[in-house]
């Protein structure tokens, strides 16, 4: 895992800075790599927070949802599949080729759900940001 304190953040949120340094977020392989590395950090962060306190389950849930979004976006970038401005995990998943969707569904495991509820779980993950923003 790359330490952002040493290497810097892969992309700034400033369009003006993008223009001035020529970083226009166009290299799909670089975008895929950056999305994957960011997903790993959110996933690891969620695990560390969860170990520290179950009382922070909202923070853990949002970090895991964001990690899922970034993992999917990493695959979509790598496959050169456009996803527009979508952030919904369920929508991003549906954009993947069917054979990849099938592999993901086969490999996933839930502690309290069956694989029959896979699509429902994706919808719940997709709504994590809104749910926790409204409920807090």
Q: Provide the pLDDT for residue 16.
A: 55
Instruction: Work out the average pLDDT over 20-36.
Output: 78
Say which range, 46-50, 116-120, 132-136, has the weakest mean pLDDT: 132-136
Nearest to 69 by CA among 46, 102, 99: 46
Q: Provide the pLDDT for residue 27.
A: 84
Q: Provide the pLDDT for residue 19.
A: 53
7 or 85: which leads in pLDDT: 85
Q: Provide the pLDDT for residue 71.
A: 95
Nearest to 29 by CA among 67, 80, 70: 80
Q: What token pair was written down for 128?
A: 């994590």
> What confidence tens digit (pLDDT) does each residue in 33-68 have?
999 999 999 999 999 999 999 888 888 889 999 999
Instruction: Work out the average pLDDT over 91-120.
Output: 86
- The overall average pLDDT reported for the chain is 81
Q: Provide the pLDDT for residue 13.
A: 52
Q: Side-chain half-sphere of 44: how many Cα atoms within 13 Å?
A: 9
Residues whose CB is less than 8 angstroms from the CB of residue 38 and which lie 6 or more positions away in sequence, other chains included:
10, 70
């Amino acid at each position: 895992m790359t330490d952002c304190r040493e290497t810097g953040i892969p992309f700034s949120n400033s369009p003006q800075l993008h223009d001035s340094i020529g970083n226009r977020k166009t290299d799909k392989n670089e975008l895929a790599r950056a999305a994957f590395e960011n997903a790993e950090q959110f996933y690891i962060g969620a695990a560390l927070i969860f170990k520290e306190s179950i009382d922070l389950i909202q923070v853990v849930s949002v970090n895991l949802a964001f990690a899922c979004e970034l993992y999917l976006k990493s695959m979509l970038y790598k496959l050169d599949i456009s996803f527009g401005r979508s952030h919904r995990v369920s929508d991003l998943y549906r954009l993947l080729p069917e054979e990849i969707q099938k592999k993901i569904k086969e490999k996933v495991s839930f502690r309290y759900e069956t694989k029959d509820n896979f699509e429902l779980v994706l919808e719940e993950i997709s709504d994590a940001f809104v749910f926790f923003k409204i409920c807090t």
